[in-house]
Structure formats: structure tokens, C-alpha cells
Structure 1
Amino acid sequence: MCYVMSYIRMAMCVILFLTLFTGMCVADSKGNLALNGMAVQSSLGHPQGDAQNAVDGNRDSDYKKESCTFTKTEFNPWWRVDLGNVYTVSNVTITNRGDCCKERLRGAQIRIGNKLDNNGNNNELAATILTAPNGTQTFSFESVNGRYVNIFLPGNDEILTLCEVEVFAEKKLLINI
């Protein structure tokens, strides 16, 4: 009995130590981390092109069905989702607009990190979309730790449209405490 209590106390001390001194805890994660996350974008180009449309779980690529985002024509448009915790992200799946304008996504960057400097667009570059994907495409890359996932489209007179963004992590997540 004393040995069991000793192990429990030791485990509690280790958890307390990790919580207090590292500020992080490890837990399992599953599925699309972006689903229903808090999304924002640089501007609203059309009333039905809200940033939340890209995390609603609907991959419909027809803009008229109100499941896509839409920014104004601008310099360096961006879209961002807050995952709520820090995850080790390894894949991002993007559904591009299918009814027109698929080329709008060409050159977009997937950036992941924990900072909101320049709206999160200075975070680590995980992948660049070199060709405009038809429909849904998954981008796999070396894992990046981050809370924020940005889709950033550098350039002048650009419009960013996304129909769905799904974020997947390795089996563990880091929770800031």
C-alpha cells in the first residue's frame, strides 16, 4: 500500500513540475483540428464569403452554396484559423473553389506558428501551393508546432478564396497552460 501511494505522489509531483515549469502538457489529438475553429481573414470581399465558411466541415467548392471564403482584391490577402492549442501539424487539406477562379490559390503559402506578428503571416512556412489544385488537395510537410494556421497569398491585387481548410496533427498535442 505504501509503495502505491509513493508512486502516485511521485507521478503527481512530475505532473506538477511539468505543468509549472514547462507550461505544456501532452495529450492525444484526432481528426480535423480546424473544424469549427475561430477563423478570420484580411477582408470580406462579399457578404457570403465569411472566413468561418472554410472551417464549417463542408467541402462544397461552389461559391454560390455559401461554403467558401472571399477577400477583397488587395495586397497580401490572408486567412487564419486559431486551433485553440499548440499542435504538431503535419498535414493541411485545402478545398479550392471549383466553379471558377481556381488560379487564385496559386502561390499561396501555408504558415504555421504561435505568433500573431503581421497577422500570423510571419510564422514558419510549411508549404507553398505551386499549382492551383482542382477540388481538394492535401499538403504534407515536416511537422510544425503551432496554434495558428495561415493561408497567405503574397502579391498585389490578389483575391483569396478557400472552400475548406482541414488541419491534421501528429498523435500528440501540446497544451499551453
Structure 2
Amino acid sequence: MHIELVEGDITTQRVDAIVNAANSSLLGGGGVDGAIHRKGGPAILEECRALRASRYGGGLPTGRAVATTAGNLPARWVIHTVGPVYREAEDLSGVLRACYTSSLAVADELGATSVAFPLISAGVYGWPPDDAIFQALTALRDATTQVESARLVLFGEHLYTLAKEIATRG
């Protein structure tokens, strides 16, 4: 799988699937989640409500992923995943990596060949950006998937520059 680093806005990515750093309610929120729901329109929220009413009454578990329509976004699907909240005293890096691999598994089920990821858990969930980037790249590099292209979309020049540095370290 080809992995690309991009500075930009996840909601403008022209790919088969855009990954949403969702909260467990699946009903929208702030950051990436809010932006995807706002730009994607009501169709995404409608499908999320249906998922809550059926399979995910208690919310989407951390590290898991599920797909909906992409609504008005320039993609076919949105894959929602819930990242862990960072805790210095507890190593949840495996759960964070599972967000990426679970999303790729859902992409495989959908037949998606290109997927754009935000930097999961690095916003309000408090994951240190350098480690969030390392975990994302590790998960994507080690994944077994039919996805041909994964794009890590970094919001802002600082995160993009940091990601390039971490990627060159291997």
C-alpha cells in the first residue's frame, strides 16, 4: 500500500473513503468529527442514528470502525472510528493502531482502494502529536489490506513537517 502525507483538510480529499475521528456516540462533535458532519450533511447523521438504533446502541467501541455514506463529501463513504483518550499511565497505543487497521478492514469490505485518514486522537483526546504520527505510520505500514493508497491528512504545516520527519526515520 502506498502511504502519502498531505497537509490539508480531510473534508476535501477525493478518495473512496474518508476516515472520521468520531466520538463513540457517532452523532457528531468537534474537530474532525464536527467538520465531517457539517460538510457531509444530514445523510451521514441519519445513517449514524440508524447504527445507534441497531448495532451500536451503547455507542461505537474504541478502536472499532463502521461505515456510512459520505453525503456531500467528495468520497463514497465515511469510515467512523473512535480513538482512545491519551493516558500517560496506560499504554493504549495498540488501541490507537487498531483504529487504523479496523478502518482498513472496513475499507476492504467496501471495496475501497483509496482512504484518507486524519491524525486520530491527537486533538481533544490529547495524544502527543509525534507519537500519534508514529502510531499511524506504524499501523499503516504493517497493515494487511487490499487498499492501494492511504493518505494521512495533517491539519497545518507544523504537523505536516513533523510527520515528514518521523516518516523519514522509518
Q: Which has the larger radius of gyration?
A: 1
Q: TM-score, normalised by structure 2?
A: 0.31
User: Which one has a larger percent helix, Structure 1 or Structure 2?
Assistant: 2
User: Which one has a larger percent strand, Structure 1 or Structure 2?
Assistant: 1
Q: TM-score, normalised by structure 1?
A: 0.30
